[in-house]
Amino acid sequence: MPVLVYTENAGGKFKKSIFEVVSYAKAIADAQSTTLTAISIGDVSADDLALLGKYGADKVLNVSADKLKNFVNQAYASVIAEAAKSEGADIVVLSNSFSGRGLAPRVGAKLDAGVADGAVSLPELSGGKFSIKKTAFSGKAFAVVELTSAKKVIALTPNSYQVVDKGTSAKVEDFSVDVKESDFKAMLKEIVRSTDKISLPDADIVVSGGRGLKGPENWGMVEELANLLGAATACSKPVSDAGWRPHSEHVGQTGIAVSPNLYIAIGISGAIQHLAGISRSKVIVVINKDPEAPFFKVADYGIVGDAFEVVPKLIEAVKAYKATA
Amino acid sequence: MKILVCISNVPDTTTKITFTSNNTQFNAAGVQFILNPYDEIALARAIELTDGGNGTVTVINVGDVGTEPTIRKALAIGATDAVRVNAVAHDAWFVAKQIAEYAKANAFDLILTGRESIDYNGSKVAAMVGELLDIPSVSIIKKLDISGSHATVEREIEGGKEILSIPLPFIAGTAEGVAEPKIPNMRGIMSARTKPLQVIEPVDVALNLEVTAYETPAPRGQVKLVSADETAKLVDLLHTEAKVI
Ligand SMILES: Cc1cc2nc3c(=O)[nH]c(=O)nc-3n(C[C@H](O)[C@H](O)[C@H](O)COP(=O)(O)OP(=O)(O)OC[C@H]3O[C@@H](n4cnc5c(N)ncnc54)[C@H](O)[C@@H]3O)c2cc1C
């Protein structure tokens, strides 16, 4: 029985986090000595579907019905559950993305499966047990959950698993399912994408600003640094509460939890609620004028200094580095 | 309009998280429990939507008697009445089953939860209840307006948002932007003591998940300080040592 992986697309394209999910699901399939079937729903080109094979899918089910072109939570959950049944898959893997968080629990309920949300590691299989590590307490800890049901749904946290290029290819099949009319009650009116920016949950590098930056008019240097590094911008809670930045940029225990390779915190004190959301970053750089700021205790690199002097200098240094690289 | 708001009782955001019994139990000693911050947003919006006698707001919590201070807080903020399902909240599936059972017997026009609880962060209850009731669910919303029998909601997606139109009834998980949390006033605190809090017994649930252990993140090494005049050195360290740029 194959493992099934749902490969969500954004405007017909797969993001890096989806290749992570495919690689992760492939590793699970390998450990179970079985194959990997991917299911894609929407308007994805043949070339893009072929990429799923490259990262480990043996077979791709392509659902391209007009009614299913745009994401409808209820209908997509039905399609994924039906695909799991028709493939005989006991394990369904998807991304713990915004959409994935709406799908995984519904698919789980349909299949009578336990749901491991926010997974950050491969399943541990020992003594007939199936256990997965997930983030808990908003990044302050991890919980190991054992799924005791025969069927299992796993939602993988982005940036938790390395993409592995298998160089293989998949056969693509059309797949169609009858979805009941009442699954289409929620109607999409409009999608608004900020195309000029890197999305925060997907970013490899994040440049984040706090109240130390004094006001929204000072974010120019934060954005300039982010642009140079190909980074997303973020902020602390008081900054978004004050309306200096949008809520979608607020990271922390009550905001978005991020796990980039590099997190640069500028003028942020490092309150426990902020640290919760960024503790899984690989490398942390802190710029703060107060040497006693708690953020320095969890940072890998730090500069004690006034952001209004340090950041412009850092921008120059990055420019110089890029000119020689 | 009848609105049901699902609330959870979670450790205060300032809590330093520790475990006991060989890292198998959450250490609740000395921990202050609060109304989950995202649920405060759901509650605040529900109160706004029913303002001026335009409906009722029932809060429901699955928990033992120890969660009653948090339930009373929700009543003080402005909920009309409350229900406590008398059981320890084993996991999201257990909680969703209890809520769905109650909601089936008491038709609601709208059910709200917070986008996630800040202890297990599952974002699962809303979608599970949605599935159990066979109604639409939206996991993370940033805006919620109702006009007649339809709602317009904004849903968060990576790098943007979707705007949806959904007929009532449905269930949604609220995030920042939906409403500002409300602080109870003196009158609210007084009246909360006498507002109805019904205690009901749980239904049986076939469990499918157990938390078997906890871990805390590995501590980081000592910070490497670079002087404010040496930004080039920092860039070099990030390139050659940390290998992140
Ligand atoms: C229920 C609850 C939930 C919360 N959730 C979150 C959350 O999810 N995320 C979050 O971020 N916070 C959260 N908070 C708020 C948190 O407690 C802190 O208040 C907040 O993180 C502080 O933000 P800050 O560091 O930007 O501001 P401050 O604490 O004001 O710190 C500003 C920092 O900037 C430095 N600074 C000032 N001027 C300069 C300069 N010129 N150059 C360099 N440095 C300078 C100062 O030394 C200081 O360290 C929450 C609080 C509560 C009660």
Tens digits of per-residue pLDDT, B44-70? 999 999 999 999 999 999 999 999 999
pLDDT of B129 reads: 98
Nearest-Cα distance to chain B for A194, in Å, is: 6
What's the maximum distance between 2 C-alpha atoms anywhere in chain A? 62
**Which residue spans of chain A are classified as CATH 3.40.50.1220?**
200-324
Residue-averaged pLDDT of chain B: 97
Tell whether the model's pLDDT for residue A197 goes beyond 90. Answer: no
φ and ψ at B161, to 5 degrees?
-150, 160
Q: State residue B219's pLDDT score.
A: 87
Q: Which atom of ligand 1 is nearest to the CA of A270?
A: 25
Between vectors from CA B59 to CA B54 and to CA B60, what angle results, nearest 5°? 145
- Look up residue B94 and give its two tokens: 């257990």
Q: In chain A, which among 89-108 make CB contacts under 8 A with chain B? A: 97-99, 101-106, 108
The one-letter amino acid at A37: T
Q: Do A250 and B136 touch (CB under 8 A)?
A: no
**Do A301 and B137 make contact, defined as CB atoms within 8 angstroms?**
no
Residue A54 has pLDDT above 90, yes or no: yes
Q: Give, as one character, the DSSP assignment of residue A250.
A: B
pLDDT-derived band at A325 (thresholds 50, 70, 90) equals confident
Low-confidence ranges of chain B (pLDDT < 70): none
Contact status of B149 with chain A (Cβ, < 8 Å): no
> CATH 3.40.50.620: which residues of chain A?
3-183
Min Cα separation B194/chain A (Å): 32
Tell me the nearest-neighbour CA distance from A99 into chain B, angstroms: 7
Residue B66's pLDDT is: 97
For residue A300, give the nearest of B229, B17, B15, B243 by alpha carbon: B243
Per DSSP, A153 falls in state E
Contact between chains at B215 and A138 (C-beta distance less than 8 A): no
Q: What is the pLDDT of residue A140?
A: 93
Q: What is the pLDDT of residue B218?
A: 87
Q: For domain B2-217, which architecture applies?
A: 3-Layer(aba) Sandwich (3.40)
Instruction: Indicate if the pLDDT at residue A195 is higher than 80.
Output: no
Assess whether the C-beta atom of A316 lies below 6 angstroms from ligand 1: no
A309 in contact with ligand 1, CB cutoff 6 A: no
Count of other CB atoms within 10 angstroms of residue B146: 17
pLDDT band, residue A194 (cuts 50/70/90): confident
User: Would you state the pLDDT for residue A142?
Assistant: 97
Query: For A298, how many CA atoms within 13 A lie in the half-sphere containing its CB?
Result: 23
Burial of B80: CB neighbours in 10 Å, binned 0-12, 13-18, 19+: middle
Say what the pLDDT of residue A233 is.
97
Choice from A253, A286, A295, A298 to test ligand 1 binding pocket (greatest atom count within 8 A of CB): A253
The yes/no answer on whether domain A3-183 falls in CATH 3.40.1550.10 is no
Q: Which of A84, A139, A102 lies closest to A277 in space, CA to CA?
A: A139
Interchain pair B157, A146: CB under 8 A: no
Question: Residue A273 C-alpha to ligand 1 middle, in angstroms?
Answer: 9
Give the CATH number of domain A200-324. 3.40.50.1220
Q: How far apart are CA A134 and CA A119, in angstroms?
A: 4
**Is B32 near chain A, with CB under 8 Å?**
no
State residue A196's pLDDT score.
Answer: 75
Expressed in angstroms and rounded, the spacing between residue A304 Cα and the centre of ligand 1 is 16
Determine the 3-state secondary structure of A3 from DSSP: strand
Q: Please tell me the distance between residue B225's alpha carbon and the centre of ligand 1 in angstroms.
A: 21
User: Closest by alpha carbon to B178, among B61, B38, B58?
Assistant: B38
Question: Can you tell me the distance from the alpha carbon of B228 to that of A270, in angstroms, rounded to the nearest whole number?
Answer: 20
